[in-house]
Structure 1
């Protein structure tokens, strides 16, 4: 039976830089405004990073998270999902500092180390708003996004055990699904599992229908009926593969973290614009959108009243 579709909106991330789009939210107020509007448009989960409000650089500063999380929580009922990925150029301790203090309902959790290449984007611009931007992108040529088994187990302990936080398991390749299955056998992960199939990042699986089918078939084989999946297709495949994921019985993630565009050659003016578009497609297919409370029930989340913000 087709379940209601969960729309996740990833509001700002740590991949795109301010030069790439004037619409990318940077300050706490901008992040809050975008997040609230995305929830009003139909996103039941909001995936959140912080940025330095002066430069737009990715930040792990818990005080920045505290400037937008309470406002979002007071303005909508969406599930607030805080990153533990942060940026590939942060240490694990930096990436965990905010969520460990804030005890959210849900966090992202990257399920393996990988090359995470953003450096080709440095070739698309000549004039930069901030000096850090081209350096940040070029550094990814020689940086491994570190998510070892020990790192994953640290997140389980500090957030799962200590905070009763549940996870959006980000899988950039089929081996990452195997890691989820391993920890389920070890009883470190309990069903229901929420997988995010991440496609289109240089160093991970490319965004194609064939790879989406392969990811789903692998999860079906290894996890059976104990999981739900969502599709994150970076860049121009965002809407196409998100739609395909919904047709296959899954869920979808959109947002300016993953794509700055709303159509070929057109920058999205807001996160809500992307949410509105994918919601319209999903509903035209005869599918229903999940509410935040339905997400909480489906994924066994602890509730917004038990967070640290």
Structure 2
């Protein structure tokens, strides 16, 4: 029976407090929803931080320090700290928490891209906090920067700590960027590719693109050298994950990627999305991987070698 690694991206940086009351903002909320997601079946917790007072994205390690130890004490989940942060952050801010805490896994965007979510502003008239409207509307001018120099800096910094990567690939070109670093020996098998669909600025959420991305990865890297997972934004989340599981991939859910549990219905929590994908994969005859099984599959260093 194949084991499928479920990642849960708990809060992210694109969605804002007005968009969903379920979005965790404070360290206590992030910790609680992370713990519940792990109990529901998530082996990996993909984590961002937010300013507790108003929910804006932050890369401040001192904020991470308020929830990372709590999660580690109450779960065995693999903790994955973002180096993506938000498109508005310089690389030094995005990297600060991962460099300080040296997790088992951290995310790494494999290239620069337009990263936009401004259409969401058209659906909102009243905002909870003053920063939200400009942040969302101005995303038509955001470029998420990760140059080859930026990527090399993140790879070098985190590899020295024994941390491995969730290589986030938003388009075909990002797979070729990853191949460049594999060829240089800066990324070593087994590595973990997160294929991302449906972000405005990245590859579209058409199922044909899933097959193209997977076939391209097989051609570039060869089967058996990498593990792959899929996330899809918004309404595409569950259909894409179902197809990925059918093809032998791993899956990622969470309120970072979609605020909904079904068409027109906001999710009550991250755990609710985890529970749904667990039901789906079990109907296929699969089981969710445990955190220890995820560690073995991805070649991670173990939770006893982190600094939190």
Does TM, normalized by the shorter one, top 0.5?
A: yes
Aligned residue in 1 for 2:49: 50
Distance 1:177 1:120 in 2: 27
Deviation readout 1:238-259 (Å, 9 max, x if unpaired):
0000010011000000000000
Distance 2:142 2:206 in 1: 25
SS at match of 2:287: coil
Aligned residue in 2 for 1:63: 62
TM-score (normalised: structure 2): 0.99
Distance 2:11 2:123 in 1: 20
Distance 2:302 2:135 in 1: 36
Could you tell me how far 1:119 is from its partner in structure 2? Answer: 1.0
Aligned residue in 1 for 2:123: 124
SS at match of 2:180: helix
Aligned residue in 2 for 1:205: 203
Could you tell me how far 1:14 is from its partner in structure 2? Answer: 0.2
Aligned residue in 2 for 1:183: 181
SS at match of 2:241: helix
Could you tell me how far 1:120 is from its partner in structure 2? Answer: 1.0
- What runs of 5+ residues in structure 1 fail to find an aligned partner? none
TM-score (normalised: structure 1): 0.98
Aligned residue in 1 for 2:247: 248
Give aligned pairs, total: 307
Distance 1:90 1:3 in 2: 39
Aligned residue in 2 for 1:135: 134
SS at match of 1:90: coil
Distance 1:179 1:127 in 2: 41
Deviation readout 1:187-245 (Å, 9 max, x if unpaired):
10000111000101000001121010110010010011211110100000100000100
Aligned residue in 2 for 1:23: 22
Aligned residue in 2 for 1:304: 303
Say which is worse superposed, 175-184 or 268-277, in terms of deviation.
Answer: 175-184
Distance 1:30 1:256 in 2: 13
Distance 2:148 2:271 in 1: 36
